[in-house]
Amino acid sequence: MKAVFITGGTTGMGMELAKLYAKKGWKVGVCGRDKTKFDDNFQTEKDQIAFYQVDVANRAELKAAIADFSKSIGLDLLIANAGIGYKFKTKIPDFDWSYKMVHVNFLGVMYAFEAALDVMVPRSKGQLVAISSIAGYNGLPGVSAYSATKAAVQKYCESLHLDLRQFGINVTSICPGFVDTPLTQSNHHKMPFIMSAPKAAEKIAHAIEKKKMVYAFPFFFATIVRILGMLPRTWYRAFMSFKAVNYSKE
């Protein structure tokens, strides 16, 4: 039986992925900081899914949790999903929150991969997945650190995909557009092409099965964002000014 460990698996896309893999018959481990979220959201699957109360920004704790799961259950797939966003957009960065974002959204992925590779490299097999974002394709106004951490995750995965193939390990970065989860439920701005979390989880699991290098969705939104990324930056700046982005506490 295959085994998957999902960081930040207690709500949103992580929770939907955990439920989906459990339904497929996989052994599942999830982590999060707040056990009540696990207790509330996995009432029927509680006995099937192992929960670890861990902050992904704590390298030693995360390493111990992933080592424990892989030793007692196994580890074929690691999904580094835990992430935090902004409560509101700001022109002048909130640096305390920005540093927190770097620790959780980027270092949290590195720590998870490090722990998983301890197990996967000696076995010469395994899959590493990180949830980046379409927000990592271009520097977006008002969410500078979020865009930066998601861009870092994308590039980190791209490099590792090339490096780890020869060790039998596949690396995928997933770049969702807007997905309806607790993370986006406090947004007051428009969220084009927003998708439900169960549908997003299905798409992500399919991309993982296909061992894609990068998977961005929904297709139309991802294509627009990619085209914006190819524009000369002066055009991009003009486009974003034309959009008259409102930075106030939206």
Which residues are at the interface with ligand NAP (CB under 6 A)? 7-14, 31-34, 37, 55-57, 81-85, 104, 131, 133, 176, 178-179, 181-184
Residue 141 or 167 having the CB closest to ligand NAP: 141
What is the full DSSP assignment across 160-192?
HHHHHGGGTEEEEEEEE--EESHHHHT--S--T
Orientation of helix 12-23 relative to helix 197-209, angle to 10°: 60
Write the DSSP symbol of residue 87: S
CB of 228 to ligand NAP, least distance (A): 16
Residue 121 or 224 having the CB closest to ligand NAP: 224
Query: b/e per residue, 36-55, with b = 16+ CB within 10 A?
Result: ebbeebbeeeeebbbbbebe
CB of 238 to ligand NAP, least distance (A): 26
Residue 121 or 228 having the CB closest to ligand NAP: 228
CB of 149 to ligand NAP, least distance (A): 8
Residue 7 or 170 having the CB closest to ligand NAP: 7
Q: Which residues does 88 contact at the CB level (< 8 Å), separation at least 6?
A: 249, 250
Radius of gyration from C-alpha coordinates of the chain: 18
CB of 132 to ligand NAP, least distance (A): 7
